[in-house]
Homo-oligomer: A and B are copies of this chain.
Amino acid sequence: MDLRKLKYFKVVADEKHIGRAAKILHISQPPLTRQIHQLEEELEVKLFNRTPKGMELTDAGILFREEVNNIFGLIEQATERTQKAGQGRLGRLDIAIFGSGIMGDIPKILLAFKERYPEVNVVLHTMGKGEQINALRQKRISLGFNRLLAPLPDIDSELVAIEELVLAINTNHPMASMPAIPFAKISDIPLILFPASNRPNFIDKTIRLCQLAGFTPNISQEVGDAVTSIALVASGFGACLIPKSASVLTIPGVVYKSLIEAPDETEVDLSCIFRKEDASPLLRAFLDIVIEYRTANEKLNR
């Protein structure tokens, strides 16, 4: 079977005339005659009745014409869908996020991506840092959002945003009435830190910042995630440092305060990681959105 023959058959069926069909197809009449004969031989079916006025479809030919139209429709659809997939406009993208990352920048990026590539099915998985790297290597995900990354030979990363840190503090604490809190004052307050795993982590970062400011933090509790941490602040365990985006979480008993007179780098990065050699257009399209988002944000902040 050969698509050329099917195309020729279609035109002859429409024109009911080999000569005219040949003209439409920009070939001469004899080869077209031959192709039609070959098609009939191959199918072992007479598709046309030859009359002195031209060609007329048989019953089988009428059926075959419909089927041929279906075939061409499917081929067209296949090429279009494949081209879309090749440009990253169709398919499935598995992305890992971490617990508190679901607030702030990540949903904005996901929305921007979904708007531009509505036919891409984005599947979200919640994973810690180590798990993300495993999942990337096993190709279970194509991209992971994370913070405080250490470089790896097979994993690339792209910065998404840099967020300043704010202090979550109990409303009954004396400092809760201050408009902003000098960083050094933190030395007086018991701190709740998170997460307890996946080094280098936000705990290491906090400890380093305190040392830069000239004191050792008073660590009250280590917990697994930002939400637990804030819940403990509400019940009076102490205060905690969190990225500003997480401060959309409002709980009775907790207020968020900006920090002043803070060391440089009193901020935390949000990045995304992906396999260095992953050339999937879907991933690259996503990274383009991430970069756009970051540059738009940088301009805004200047």
Chain A residues engaging chain B, CB cutoff 8 angstroms: 1-4, 43-47, 49, 58-60, 63-64, 67-68, 70-71, 73-75, 77-79, 81-83, 85-86, 90-91, 138-140, 279-282
Contact = CB atoms under 8 A, between A and B. Distances in A.
B60 A86 contact: yes
A282 B62 CA distance: 14
Closest 3 CB pairs of A and B: A45-B86, A67-B78, A60-B85
A178 B45 CA distance: 60
Given A67-B81, A82-B45, A82-B64, A1 B1 contact: no
Nearest to A61: B82
B82 A63 contact: yes
A52 to B, nearest CB: 13
B3 A85 contact: no
A58 B277 CA distance: 13
A74 B71 contact: yes
Contacts of A47: 82
A45 B83 CA distance: 6
Given A2-B3, A58-B280, A74-B138, 8 more contacts: A44-B83, A46-B86, A60-B82, A60-B83, A63-B85, A64-B85, A70-B78, A70-B139
A91 B63 contact: yes
